[in-house]
Structure 1
Amino acid sequence: MLEQPFFGRRLKQLRTERGLSQAALAGDGMSTGYLSRLESGARQPTARAVEYLAAQLGVKVAAFEEPGATDSLAQALAIATSDHSDDTIEALERSLSTGGAQDPMLRWQALWLVAQWRRGHNQHARERAHLEELVTVGDTLGLPALRARGFTQLARCLRACGEIALAVEAAGTAHQLARDNDLTVQDLAGSLLALVSAEAEAGRLSEARAHADELTELTGDRSDSLWAEARWTAAAVRVRQGDLEAAQSLLEQALDRFSSAEDLSLWTRLRVAAARLHLLKAPPELDAAEQYVEQAEAGLAFVGVPALEQEVLSLRADIAFRAGRFADARTLLDRVRGHDPHMTYRNRVRLDVLDSRLLIIEGEQQEGLRRMRALAEEAQAASNIDLAADIWRLLAETLAQAHGSAPSA
């Protein structure tokens, strides 16, 4: 039996998490007045109303149930830790939302698991909310390792959301905590990975280079995923500094020595990075980029990460565009846009930039120009100086290409 007022509070929480108004949730099957009374606790829900609302929200009826003694945070955490299924993590998330006194250490662990799960589903806004609370709980606990890990994950999430200035601040805090408290290599390297990436996107290249050098030295005697990510991150800084040969050398170390058996997702991402690097050459090395994309696609068959699948497909569209196959590029771009977006802020902007460039080539120059200017200004306002500079550069290249090319079939 679903009881008020818990049902009303839970219903409102689920609605607001999805950004829905009462009218949007009520739809054609319920009056907004009735929905309002359900949320306020003034009316007891009927079974039919509950089923309708669950369908509207895309959740199971169990999502409305109030946790009882058997659904305590400790028990939900134990179950989720041993079984990382969507259902158990969702149950853990519900336990976090019940309020009341909870052990802060258990709550920290639960927030960590739920945030990781949200990140895996590329739901960065909801991940961010959990991580911001996780940082607060970590400060309460006062344990340097937990504080550093919380700030590191928050920095990664903020970067994925396009909040670059905040990402630099969070990563800097994590790095300072790791160094001041002599934390493990894993903690220090994790903070540096987040810090270098955020600094580079903020255009703070001298600082990013210094921290990248610190990172590569720190991980130099390893051969695991941390070592590979360090080389990749250092390569990304060299790219932004315009030293593509040094970037290629660093990236090839990771490509040659890191095994897919270690981490297939990272192995695939390295090949996506290599393909992008070859596209930056002057002229673009399309054959090499194509070969790395094919390798990445082989990994995708086993990874099953929607965001990565969309990134590879958008990369194919970029290759088609640079090869002058504009109709193919448009078809591939439409395929990516035919699915719910799962990409990071940076990759979504890349997709929008390619769409705008195609508009310019296709003869809709003013609209394409307007969109690219808006994207560049948005990136600059978010302190993503590196991305903004890329957009302005691509805009100039596209205008030159439009004046010398006609769309090809």
Structure 2
Amino acid sequence: MSPSPAVPTSAEPAPLPPPRLAYGAVTWKEVGYLLLNLPIVIIGFVFVVTMLAIGIGLSVTVVGLPLLAGGLIGCRLLGKLERARARELLGVVIDDPRPMRPSTFGFLPWLWATLKDPVAWRHALYFAIRLPWGVLTFTLTFASLFVAWPALGFIARGLTTVDRVMVRGLLQPSDELERRIAELESDRGVVVDHAAADLRRIERDLHDGAQARLVALAMDLGLAKEKLLEDPEAAAKMVGEAHGEVKIALQELRDLARGIHPAILTDRGLNAALSSVAARCTVPVQVGVDLNARPAAAIEGIAYFTVSELLQNISKHSGARTASVDLWRSQERLMIQVRDDGNGGAGTTGGTGLAGLTERLDSVDGLLVVDSPVGGPTTITAELPWRDREQAPPRSGSARQGHLAG
């Protein structure tokens, strides 16, 4: 038999091109950032070089230093734009440096503060060194789009990692110290406001309380003096009433002095002072102070007034049957915890007393945490920085307590 003819087969399909890799939004944002590097760094480099050349070159003239100062302010503005670009495309969130503030008003203090502004000079350095890097990143990224497409994601991630380091290193606030200065400036304002409010309260209490009572007392004694010969019995009655007014005035002055800084706190420390405050609370309060040494006087005073205000809130608003106060030291923090079994619902919002207490603690690096579900119980925890107490010689005639009972 003759072999059967070969059955023709269909042509082999042409091989498919390799699939193009699909990258996510993050990669495309990084690619966009790298492609924008070149035009932006050219603008920044030209600005910085021109600013330095003109400003330093004319520094011997009247206009040279002001031009240089204006250029440094411009560097700050360019840096703000770069931080915004890094935030949107790289996800790098950096706080803006605090505004440059001269120590005093006037043109010369402003000029000097601007010329020595380290933030502006670091921004100038950023744009001065970025030109070769911008050329390199633009070239590699643009080529990767067409030549080495599968490697685009790795190249973009590697190059933007360096960009992130540059942005964080040169465009963020100087360091933790500068951020700390800004926080302390804000805290100082809070402290000043609270101190002014305390002074107004003391003045109001003196004017409306003890001072008014003493004025009335002086008038009563004057009338008693006039009646002393005419009507001794009436005069004696008026003197007796004046004696009662004196007792009330003295008690008001003691309460006012206790509100400023109680003597028992100075002489005997937190254990005795808080026990005294707890005794005046309308709710039975158990006090536990576990400290083997006394903190600095300022911290001790803040702790005292914090507990005092919290116990006043319990007396007025909680509807509690029992409460407790505990103080202890945890490493370099003084811990305060006040509990009650009242109605709960306390919070630090809405302009409450707890909001003001939170601000006071925050002004000294403290913290207030409120756990008060509706229906209770309420647990309020406060933290204060621990600072050791400076030792001072005891006052003659009185024993000074150097350590607290547990």
Shorter-chain TM band: under 0.3
| Greater share of residues in helix | 1
Q: 1 or 2 for the larger relative contact order (CA 8 Å, sep ≥6)?
A: 2
**Structure of greater Rg:** 2
Provide the TM-score with structure 1 as the length reference. Answer: 0.23
TM-score using structure 2 length: 0.23
Q: Hey, which of these two has a bigger chunk of strand by percent?
A: 2
